[in-house]
Structure 1
Amino acid sequence: CPETNFFFVSPHSFDDTRILWPNDLSLSLSPLLYSKLVVFYAKLFPFISRYNGSLPNGDRGRRKSRFALYKRSKASGVKPSTVHVISTPQASKAISSKGHHSISYTLSRSQTVIVEYIHDKDTDMFQVGRSTESPIDFVVTDTISGNQNNDEAQITQSTISRFACRIVCDRNPPYTARIFAAGFDSSKNIFLGEKAAKWKNPDGHMDGLTTNGVLVMHPKGGFTEESKPGVWREISVCGDVYTLRETRSAQQRGKLVENETNILQDGSLIDLCGATLLWRTADGLLHTPTQKHIEALRQEINAARPQCPVGLNTLAFPSINRKDVVEEKQPWAYLSCGHVHGYHNWGHRSDTEANERECPMCRTVGPYVPLWLGCEAGFYVDAGPPTHAFSPCGHVCSEKSAKYWSQIPLPHGTHAFHPACPFCATQLSGEHNCVKLIFQGPID
């Protein structure tokens, strides 16, 4: 139902190995549907491309611009059971091939600890990774920043694990979701080799970390107008929480954080070293602006007939469906001061970079870029009007959303952190990373 942004689906349309997603709705579920027909756990928004909330060729199969998690018709979760200490490769192979899920910890050439996992009727498991093999429910690809050209965007070797992580959701209220590093492969095994960081905990159970790690940050205050950045932590294979390692792939683990858990919250960020995912819960999405609301805001701005203060021509944000095409009426802005203009070819300064101009209104020198409305509703912390633009990409959203993302240090590569635009992953710059836009109304 487009008017309410709810959709109604028969439970029989879901199968046990694929998560189906209705193509163009920024979904929220009605209480009736949530309680009686099918349980919607949450939705994941990957910062996966330069295309402002979509993929260039559209959503296909398990590779999407957003992922929805639903309660499966049959429980798919597993839980730890028997522990085997193996001294021969033959015995290790025999146990791993019994058909059960298992995690193998290779301590040395002569000793391997294998933890068998058995079916858990109370949970559903979803796996995320770069692999396109059938155990992966959601296939993610490396983030390509919006300010890179095609040559720079070529990724020679991905740092995302083929089987990066798994998310386990309780099938009963309150439908708690937990994240664990590493996913089971086609042989239902997670293998931590000799060089992987692993250890035995004081209570006797084995644990470890993946090569480049799975990092999680929970925002302070939830994902709301008052949200503040949290602290990045690393999640182990068994779901414990640790401080970050000295480097992303160091063999020495961080310190155990005993008062924190691997439970995902609305607005939690998951970083897979090459792709960052935003976790939005079912309850959180009920308070999120919809695509229809964003479109209404676009039409409201255009109806006000903003004008270029120099050329006096009327400006208009392009349709969301044409967000990759710079149109004649496209608003442009000087990101150092926020003055909005139509496109013009003057103001170049020989002593500045090629993309910087001098604003004819205030003579401030800075980037001059086209403005684009941020299209992915899941990244908004409120439903306010689009008044602020990220610098230097020019994506526009509400003031509180812009200021929230401007404060978030997102992992970059294997060692750095910096704030980035959620709509295109461009590293933010400028005094405050975003600027308030100054529109001029019609003079007639």
Structure 2
Amino acid sequence: MFSPSQEEHCAPNKEPIKYGELVVLGYNGCLPNGDRGRRKSRFALYKRPKSNGVRASSVHVISTPQASKDPCTQEEGSRAGSCQACAISPSPEEEAISTRGQHSISYTLSRNQTVVVEYTHDKDTDMFQIGRSTESPIDFVVTDTISGNQNDESQITQSTISRFACRIVCDRNPPYTARIFAAGFDSSKNIFLGEKAAKWKNPDGHMDGLTTNGVLVMHPKGGFTEESKPGVWREISVCGDVYTLRETRSAQQRGKLVENETNVLQDGSLIDLCGATLLWRTADGLFHTPTQKHIEALRQEINAARPQCPVGLNTLAFPSINRKDVVEEKQPWAYLTCGHVHGYHNWGHRSDTEANERECPMCRTVGPYVPLWLGCEAGFYVDAGPPTHAFSPCGHVCSEKSAKYWSQIPLPHGTHAFHAACPFCATQLTGEESCVKLIFQGPID
């Protein structure tokens, strides 16, 4: 029997090993202006040809006269940008470490003392970095998600996502365990936590800290399956320890250490960067997830059944996936309180002030009346069931189990709020159930 490394050497043309994928919530298959380069709605992590992981090696305590320090205008994990918990300029000693080509994390304890932890190469791991920066150390560029699929970057006045937000480290050998850490190394191979950033020395002596707005993680109970339930949101430190949440995202006081939990990502783990939420899917989890082809087959199956508007008696059809944002003539619409599916009509308004409140002609129930859109991002489905349920108030359609799962997930919103949202467009869910079973009428003939 060959070892994994021997197998790779013997079969250089085989498929690269995939550790998993990150899928950004709020995008139904691609970014509004299209996926380009490192900016996309979905990012696959593959085993690198050569390892680039690092591990802590040595610690330096550096004392520097206050006069040599400049006022800070930097963000944690970067030497450019602006953030309220920024670092101060690196000292000559820190620069000397940087010029040696070593990765390092700098913890500024005071104006005249900094602890620098040097990192050395780790041949057994691959590192992937995520953040808002477009600099080369970032593998996956993530920007703020505007709810309701109206992701116009001009609406974002000041991002709350770190330029170097987090890093994921994957073992190069089976079972290819993936771990998440707050903050990423910048172009100088440094993570820089300033005076105002939350930081501390642990009982075993090693330094640790939190980024300004934090990196939150939630592991679902029961994996990412039909039976999954929401887990508890935690905060991940720079060194990968797990803590309860702070009072607000940027509070100075850290939460309590959760000793029985780890930073190992599971299939279905959610990662929140305070402005965007990412779903982690393992390679094995993706293997059991419906594909784009399966979702397309379900769309064609619904359309082949020739559902009709019960009033206009015209045949309805879900538009093709590549036209998923354009309302078409045959588009199905639904009353989200009762679930009755119709074609578009312009009657049933109950008031001039609530333009979207309509009375269903089938059951007289009053509620939102919206076009239905098929949920096309396969990574959000917990099963391969037919698209029978719609989220309220956006009208995105997916399987019953998937709709009910996401309706239970409290997603971080702002600095201290949580609410359920549609995974396909990030719209906050409303109504008692947050989703409704759709009632289609088949052809009369």
Query: Shorter-chain TM-score category?
Result: 0.7 to 0.9
Contact 1:381 1:401 in 2 (8 A): yes
The answer on 1:60 being equivalent to 2:51 is no
Cα 1:38–1:242 change in 2 (3 A) is closer
Contact 1:234 1:244 in 2 (8 A): yes
Contact 2:271 2:277 in 1 (8 A): yes
Once residues 17 and 29 of structure 2 are traced to their aligned partners in structure 1, the CA distance between those partners, rounded to angstroms, is 28
Contact 2:104 2:189 in 1 (8 A): yes
SS in 1 for 2:17: helix
Q: What's the CA shift for 1:386?
A: 0.2
Once residues 368 and 120 of structure 2 are traced to their aligned partners in structure 1, the CA distance between those partners, rounded to angstroms, is 57
- Per-residue CA deviations over 1:247-274 (Å, capped at 9, x if unaligned) read 0000100000000000000000000000
Q: What's the CA shift for 1:352?
A: 5.8
Q: What's the CA shift for 1:414?
A: 1.2
Q: What's the CA shift for 1:95?
A: 2.5
Unpaired segments of 5 or more residues in structure 1?
Answer: 1-21, 24-29, 40-50
Q: How does 1:179-190 map to 2 (within 5 A)?
A: 179-190=180-191
Structure-2 residue corresponding to 1:305: 306
Q: RMSD in angstroms over aligned alpha carbons?
A: 3.2
Cα 1:410–1:153 change in 2 (3 A) is farther
Contact 1:92 1:112 in 2 (8 A): no
Q: What's the CA shift for 1:97?
A: 3.2
Structure-1 residue corresponding to 2:125: 123
SS in 1 for 2:225: coil
Spell out structure 1 runs of 4+ moving beyond 2 A. 30-39, 89-98, 150-153
- Per-residue CA deviations over 1:126-152 (Å, capped at 9, x if unaligned) read 00000000000000010111165x889
- Per-residue CA deviations over 1:96-120 (Å, capped at 9, x if unaligned) read 3321000000000111000000000
Contact 1:219 1:230 in 2 (8 A): yes
Q: What's the CA shift for 1:376?
A: 0.2
Contact 2:23 2:278 in 1 (8 A): no
Q: What's the CA shift for 1:65?
A: 1.3
Contact 1:358 1:364 in 2 (8 A): yes
SS in 2 for 1:222: coil
Cα 1:276–1:440 change in 2 (3 A) is same
Structure-2 residue corresponding to 1:32: 17
Contact 1:144 1:153 in 2 (8 A): no
TM-score by length of 2: 0.87
Once residues 130 and 56 of structure 1 are traced to their aligned partners in structure 2, the CA distance between those partners, rounded to angstroms, is 17
Q: What's the CA shift for 1:153?
A: 6.6
Once residues 164 and 336 of structure 2 are traced to their aligned partners in structure 1, the CA distance between those partners, rounded to angstroms, is 40
Structure-2 residue corresponding to 1:86: 62
Contact 2:20 2:45 in 1 (8 A): no
TM-score by length of 1: 0.87
Q: What's the CA shift for 1:35?
A: 15
Contact 1:372 1:394 in 2 (8 A): yes
Contact 2:18 2:46 in 1 (8 A): no
Q: What's the CA shift for 1:56?
A: 2.4
Contact 1:92 1:114 in 2 (8 A): no
Contact 1:86 1:112 in 2 (8 A): yes
Cα 1:322–1:289 change in 2 (3 A) is same
Once residues 151 and 133 of structure 1 are traced to their aligned partners in structure 2, the CA distance between those partners, rounded to angstroms, is 22
Q: What's the CA shift for 1:237?
A: 0.1
SS in 2 for 1:216: strand
Contact 2:22 2:281 in 1 (8 A): no
- Identity, % of aligned positions: 93
- Per-residue CA deviations over 1:377-411 (Å, capped at 9, x if unaligned) read 00000000000000000000000000000000000
Q: What's the CA shift for 1:59?
A: 1.4
Contact 2:164 2:184 in 1 (8 A): yes
SS in 1 for 2:20: helix
Once residues 131 and 359 of structure 2 are traced to their aligned partners in structure 1, the CA distance between those partners, rounded to angstroms, is 45
Once residues 35 and 132 of structure 1 are traced to their aligned partners in structure 2, the CA distance between those partners, rounded to angstroms, is 22
Q: What's the CA shift for 1:36?
A: 20
Q: What's the CA shift for 1:38?
A: 21
Cα 1:167–1:397 change in 2 (3 A) is same
Once residues 187 and 65 of structure 2 are traced to their aligned partners in structure 1, the CA distance between those partners, rounded to angstroms, is 19
Once residues 159 and 32 of structure 1 are traced to their aligned partners in structure 2, the CA distance between those partners, rounded to angstroms, is 33
Q: What's the CA shift for 1:313?
A: 0.5
Q: What's the CA shift for 1:90?
A: 11
Contact 2:20 2:44 in 1 (8 A): no
Cα 1:199–1:37 change in 2 (3 A) is closer
Query: Which piece of structure 1 moves more, 92-101 or 171-180?
Result: 92-101
Contact 2:125 2:171 in 1 (8 A): yes
Once residues 427 and 435 of structure 2 are traced to their aligned partners in structure 1, the CA distance between those partners, rounded to angstroms, is 12
Cα 1:325–1:36 change in 2 (3 A) is closer
- Per-residue CA deviations over 1:393-433 (Å, capped at 9, x if unaligned) read 00000000000000000001111100000000000001100
The alignment covers a number of residue pairs equal to 405
Cα 1:200–1:35 change in 2 (3 A) is closer
Unpaired segments of 5 or more residues in structure 2?
Answer: 1-11, 70-95
Contact 1:86 1:92 in 2 (8 A): no
Q: What's the CA shift for 1:242?
A: 0.1
Once residues 16 and 98 of structure 2 are traced to their aligned partners in structure 1, the CA distance between those partners, rounded to angstroms, is 43
SS in 2 for 1:310: coil
